[in-house]
Structure 1
Amino acid sequence: MIFTLKIYFDTIRHLKLSQLFWQLRYKIRAKQFLKNKYFNNLYDEFESLSFVNTEILYKKNLLIEPLIFKFLNLEKKFVEKINWNFSEYGKLWNYNLEYFDYLHQQDISIEERIKLINDFYNYSLLNKRTLEPYPVSLRSINIIKFSIRDGILDKRILNFVYQELSFLDKNYEFQILGNHLLENAFALSLGGAFFKREDWLNKGIRILYKELKEQILEDGAHFELSPMYHQIILFRVLELIDWYQNYGDKDANFLSFFRDIASKMRSWAGNIQFANGDIPLFNDSAKGIAYDIVTLNDYANILGIESKNLPLGQSGYRSFLNSNYEIKIDLAQIGASYQPGHAHADALSFILYSQELPLIVEQGTSTYQIGKRRNLERSTEAHNTIVLNGRDQSEVWGGFRVGKRAKTTIHYEGQNGYTGSHNGYKNLGIIHTRSFIFEEAKIQITDTLSQNGNAKAYVHLHPDRRLSKINDKRFIIDDMVTIDFDGAETIVSDNYEYADSYNQYRPAIRFVISFERELSTTIFFKHSR
C-alpha cells in the first residue's frame, strides 16, 4: 500500500493543478451522446475553404473493400454490417475505425463514403455511443475536409458534425493537455471557420497560440519527444496553414506565427531522421502511423515553408553521422513533465545505423493495450542502456503514467562525442554516466557507475543482423562490424521480439552484459567507405 501511494504521489506531483481540477470535473460529468437534434439555422451558408489538392496527402489501404478495414496491421472483416463498438483488437484500433481517415481514399466512391458516415451516426444514435473528445476531433476534421474537397455538403451529416463540435467546445481535454489539446483546438479552429462560429475559431486559435509556444521546443521538437507524434503535429500545423492562408478573415500575425512553428518543426524532423529517411523509434513511435518526412517536406514546399536549420538542442536528442555509421542518442528528460504518457524509461539509450541500415535498435512500440507487452516496451531493459538491480530508471506504469523519474544531465558535447548522466538510481546511491566517443571507423561507449552495483547493459540487434562469436567478449555482426565488451563479467545473447510497427513482431537477438562498476563497449566498422 505504501508503495502504491508513493507511486501515485510521484505521478501526481508533476501534474498541473489545472489538470487535477479538470480530471475531477470530467469524472463527475455525465456521459454525453449524439441526439436527433437539428440546428435550423445551420444550412444558410458554409464558409468557402480550400486545401491543396495533391495525391501526397491521400491515405490508402485502410478500407480494403466494403466491410473490411485494416488498422495497426490488424485486418477485420465485418459480416453484413459494421460494429462501430468493435473492441477485440483494442481501444486504439476502434478509435482508428471512427477517425474516418479512409474518407481520403480515392479508390472508394463518394456514395460509399457517405454511406459509411451515415451508418456510423445511425449506430451512434441507436446505441447511445459515448462521445469522446479526441476521436471527435479527428473525425470532425476528416469529414469537413471530405465535404470541402468533394463538394458534398450533406445537411444531415454536417448537422451531426456540428453537434459533435458543440460537444467538443465544452470538453477540451484540459485534463490531458499535450497533443490531445492541440487536436481539439485544430478541430474547433477548422470547424469554427467552416460553420462560421467565430467563438469556436477564436478560442481554438488562442489555445493553439498558447500551447504551441509551450509545446514546441527551441530546437523545433514537440515536447512529448516522440518522433512519430512530432510528425503528426507537424502535419496538423501544415494542414491549418493550408486552409487558413486563404481564409477571408485571417489574422496575419497568427498565420506568421504558425509558419514559423512549421519551419522550426520541419528543421527538427530533418535533424532527427536517419539518412535513409527512417526516424529513430524513441518513446512511443512506430512506422506506418504518421505521414513520412518526405511527404511532410513535399507539403511544406507546396506551402512555401522552408526549414530553419536549427541544431538539435533543448529536446535532448543528439546525432552523429560519418561515412561508416549514423547514431541517434537519447540524452533527453522524461517529456513532457506533466504529460509523459508516451515516454519510456530510456535515458542514455541510442539507436545505430550502418551503411543506412539499422544495426542496433530498441524493442519498439507495438501496442497501447495496458498489460505485459506495454510495460515491457516502456521499461529500461527494452532500450540500449543500463538496468540496475532489475529496476527501471523511471517508474513507468499503468500504460501511460510515470512516477519517479530519472533526470538527465549533459556534461560534455563536442564535435566527436557526448557525455551524460542520470540520477534514476539515486535511491540505490548510484549515478550512471555514459560517454560516447566517435572516430571514423569506431565508436567507444563507456558506462561508469558511481559505486559498484548489480548492473546489466542491454544492446538490441536488428532482426536482419547476423551474429557470430569470436571469443567470450568479442562478437562480429554481418562479417562487417565487431563489438567488444571490456569490463563485462558475463555476456549472454538473448532472444527478444522486435516491433517497428503496431502488432508486428520479429525475432531478434540482444546482448545482456553483466558488470559492476565500468563497462567499455567498442564498435569497430571494418569497411570504411
Structure 2
Amino acid sequence: MKRFVNKAKRLFSKPLGVITYRTTQELILESYRIINRWDRVEKNIDKSLTLTDANRQKNIILYDNLSLLKPNIYRYYDYYDGVTSRVRDGKYELLGHCIPSNFSYYWNEDWRFNYFWGEKYFRRYNYYSTEKSKPYDVKYPWELSRLNFLIPMALLVDETGCINKKDIFSILEDWEKNNPYCYSINWNPMECSIRVINLIILLEILNSWDNLSIEENRLFYRVLAKHGEFLYKTIEYTDVRGNHYTANLVALLLLGYKLEKIYKPSKRWLKNIVDKLDNELQLQFYDDGVNFEKAIGYHRLVTELFLLSTITLKKKNITLKNQSKLQNAISYVEAYLKDDLTAPVFGDNDNASILNFIFDIDIKMHSPILDIGKLFFEGTSYFGDQNDYPYFIFFGPIKEHQNVKKGDKKLSRFEEGGYIVYKTSDIYFFTDIGEVGMNGRGGHGHNDLLSYELEYKGAKLVVDPGSPTYTGDLAKLKKYRSTSMHNILQVEGKEIANLLGNWQIDNAAIPTVNEVKHTRNNLELDVSHTGYSNDFIDYSRKFFVEENREEFFRCIDQFTAIKDCNVTRYIHLDNSINFKSNNSDYLLICENTGKCFTLISDENSTISTEEFYQSFGYGIVKKSKKLILKSNCKQGYNKLYFSIKEI
C-alpha cells in the first residue's frame, strides 16, 4: 500500500498531460493482466510472423555485406575466443562478478546471494526495497538478460564449427523459457530496450554468416515481436524524459524497420518515431553537446543510442534535424577523454553501454563511441592505425586510417553543460561548474559542483569516487551522491543541495562563473555558488592549474562566514597514490609512475586521512584514501587554500 501511495504521489505531481497518459497506460496494463491479454498477444505473434523472406532482410544497423569481411574479423579470433571461453568456463565477469558457467537458472536471480525473483506480473515487482537482509541487486539478472555476451560469440560462428551456432540459440531459447511473457523480473521497459538492440545486432551477425533455418528465424523474430508489443504498451513517457525514454524510442525504431516485412503490426511502432527522436535529441542535449542528465556514464549511453539510430536512419535516407547536437555530443567525449582513453566518472554509473560490450572493451574506456562517431560523421578513425577493434562491422572496409590531429594543449569549456576540461601534454583537469541537471531535478547527477579530477605527468592524483551501486544498496548510493564523497568544501556537515528521494537533488546550489583566464601554459578559474547561502556570503572557489611550474595546482576557497563554523574540504586520491605525512610535510607518491608530490595547506587547517572505496565500475571497488582538511573558521572573511607541487 505504501509503495502504491508513493507512486500515486509522484504521478499526481506531474503535468496534466502526463497524468492522463500514465493513468491510461496503467489502466490498460492492469486490464491486460486481468483478462490475460498478453497470452493472446503472444499467440497472435506466432500466427502473424511471415518468415518466407527472413533471410533476405537487409541489415538495419550493421554493414550489409558483412560476410565479405569475415577474414578481417578472424584477425581478432583470439580476442573473441577469449570472451567465449570465459562465458563457457564461468569466468566472464559481469558487474565485477563472474557469471556461473551453467546459467540456466540465473536469469531471474542474483547468484551472488542466491536471491530469486519469483514469477509475477511485471508491474508487481519492487526494485527499490530498502528492507533487505542481504544487498541483492536486480541489476545482476538484468545485466545478464541483456544478452550482450552473445555478440562476441556470434562473430566467431562459421561453417567449421569454431563456435557452435546451436549454443547461441539454446541460450536464447532458455531465456525465453525462463522469462514467461510479462511475468518475470526481466520484463522491464528499459531492459527490454537494451536487449532488443543487442538481439538485432546478434541476428544480423548470424544471418550474415549463413542463412538461418525457419525455426531459428522464428525464435528470433518471435522474441523481437514480443518485445515490440511490450514496449509499445509500456513506453516510459513523462514530463522530463531521459535515457529510459530514449532507449524505448530507439528500440521501437529498430524493431519497426527490422520487422516491417516479417510482422505487419510492427508498422504502427514507427508512427511519428523519427519526430519523437528528433525532439528528444533537442531536449536532452545542450547545444554544446553535454547530455542534460549530468552523468558522464549516461552521456555515453544516450550518445550511443542516438548514434545507432542515426546509423539506421541513414540507411533509410533519413537525417535527424538536430543531428548536429549528436556531433557535439561526440566532441564532448573527445574533450573529456584521458590519454588512457578512460573517462572521469562524475555522476551515476551503472556500466550502461552497448558498444563496449560488443567489443569487450573495459567499461571505463569511452573510445568506441568516439571512434565510431568520427567514422560515421567524418569518415576517419580517431585512433588511426592504433585502432584494435573491428568497428568496420558497422561501415564496411575503412579506406583511410587517418589519425585525427590531437592538440597538446587545449581548454574546452562547455558553458551550457557546465564543465571545463583543461588538457596539456602533462596535465588533465576536469571540473563541474554547472547546475544539477535534468532541468534542475538532479536525476543521475551528484552533489559535485566544483569537484574535479586531476592528473599530472601520468600520475592519477585526485579522482571522483564514482558510484559502485544503484538498485542494490540505496543507502550506499545516497552516500556516493553526497557532498562528502566529492572533492569540494562542506560546512557543518551540510549538503550543498538537499538529496531528494533516491534520484533527485534540490536545485539550490546555483553556480556563477566569475572568471576564466587561459594562456598557453595555465588556467585560472573562479566560480561561486549559492549552496551555502545560509552560512556564507560570497562563497567562491578558485583553481590555478599551471604547466612548467613545480607548484602546478592551487585551490583557494574564499567566503565571508555569517558566524563561526567548521569547514571540511575533501581530496579523494586515486588508489595508486600512497599518502605519507612527516611533521608538516604531506607526500603523495604515485605507485604507477614513481613520481612524488607534496601537498601544502594553509596554517589554520589540519589534515587527516580516511579510507574510501573508489569505484571502477558498477560493483567494482578498490580501497583508496581521501584527505580531510578541517578548519575552524571565524565569523567574517576566510581564505583557505592548498596546493600540490612536484618534488
Runs of 4+ in 1 over 4 A off after TM superposition: 11-29, 31-34, 44-47, 53-60, 286-290, 306-311
Amino acid at match of 1:64: R
The aligned residue for residue 128 of structure 1 is 183
Instruction: Give the superposition deviation at 1:375.
Output: 1.6
Distance 1:381 1:524, change over 3 A: same
Report % sequence identity. Answer: 19
Larger deviation: 329-338 or 400-409? 400-409
**Cα root mean square deviation, aligned:** 3.3
The aligned residue for residue 38 of structure 1 is 44
State how far apart, in whole Å, the 1-side matches of 2:344 and 2:545 are: 19
Larger deviation: 157-166 or 212-221? 157-166
Out of 464, 486, 491, the residue aligned to residue 362 of structure 1 is 464
State how far apart, in whole Å, the 2-side matches of 1:215 and 1:454 are: 39
The aligned residue for residue 448 of structure 1 is 558
| Aligned residues between the structures | 513
Amino acid at match of 2:284: Q
Distance 1:24 1:483, change over 3 A: farther
Superposed CA deviations along residues 149-196 of structure 1, whole A, max 9, x for unmatched, are 211462133123212211211221113720111100110111111111
Out of 65, 72, 81, the residue aligned to residue 87 of structure 2 is 65
The aligned residue for residue 371 of structure 2 is 298
Out of 101, 109, 124, the residue aligned to residue 148 of structure 2 is 101
The aligned residue for residue 48 of structure 1 is 58
CA contact (8 A) 1:62 1:71 kept: no
State how far apart, in whole Å, the 1-side matches of 2:13 and 2:84 are: 38
SS at match of 1:363: coil
SS at match of 2:577: coil
State how far apart, in whole Å, the 2-side matches of 1:65 and 1:445 are: 47
- Taking structure 2 as the reference length, what is the TM-score of the superposition? 0.72
The aligned residue for residue 334 of structure 1 is 436
The aligned residue for residue 154 of structure 1 is 217
State how far apart, in whole Å, the 2-side matches of 1:469 and 1:370 are: 35
State how far apart, in whole Å, the 2-side matches of 1:26 and 1:471 are: 66
The aligned residue for residue 130 of structure 2 is none
Superposed CA deviations along residues 55-109 of structure 1, whole A, max 9, x for unmatched, are 6998984883348453111123265732321134411112111111122122553
Superposed CA deviations along residues 189-244 of structure 1, whole A, max 9, x for unmatched, are 11111111343224321221000011111111111122222222222233223333
Distance 1:318 1:462, change over 3 A: same
SS at match of 1:241: helix
State how far apart, in whole Å, the 2-side matches of 1:59 and 1:178 are: 36
SS at match of 1:466: strand
Pairwise mapping of residues 400-479 of structure 1 onto structure 2 (< 5 A)?
A: 400-403=503-506, 405-415=508-518, 416-428=523-535, 432-440=539-547, 441=549, 442-451=552-561, 452-472=564-584, 474-478=585-589
Instruction: Give the superposition deviation at 1:397.
Output: 4.7
SS at match of 2:378: coil
- Taking structure 1 as the reference length, what is the TM-score of the superposition? 0.87
The aligned residue for residue 226 of structure 1 is 295
State how far apart, in whole Å, the 2-side matches of 1:361 and 1:234 are: 24
Superposed CA deviations along residues 399-419 of structure 1, whole A, max 9, x for unmatched, are 323245422221111212111
Instruction: Give the superposition deviation at 1:372.
Output: 3.0
Higher Cα Rg, which structure: 2
Out of 145, 151, 156, the residue aligned to residue 201 of structure 2 is 145
**Any stretches of 5+ residues in structure 2 without a counterpart?**
1-7, 114-135, 157-162, 261-265, 357-364, 383-403, 407-411, 590-594
The aligned residue for residue 508 of structure 1 is 624
SS at match of 1:105: helix
Pairwise mapping of residues 206-355 of structure 1 onto structure 2 (< 5 A)?
A: 206-247=275-316, 250-251=317-318, 253-254=319-320, 257-258=322-323, 260-285=324-349, 291=356, 292-305=365-378, 311-337=413-439, 340-355=442-457
SS at match of 2:291: coil
Instruction: Give the superposition deviation at 1:133.
Output: 0.8
Instruction: Give the superposition deviation at 1:466.
Output: 1.9
SS at match of 2:528: strand
CA contact (8 A) 2:468 2:617 kept: yes
State how far apart, in whole Å, the 2-side matches of 1:324 and 1:79 are: 48
CA contact (8 A) 2:87 2:99 kept: no
**Any stretches of 5+ residues in structure 1 without a counterpart?**
1-7
Matching of residue 86 in structure 1 with residue 109 in structure 2: yes
The aligned residue for residue 522 of structure 1 is 643
The aligned residue for residue 3 of structure 1 is none
Larger deviation: 367-376 or 217-226? 367-376
State how far apart, in whole Å, the 1-side matches of 2:352 and 2:86 are: 16
Instruction: Give the superposition deviation at 1:520.
Output: 0.9
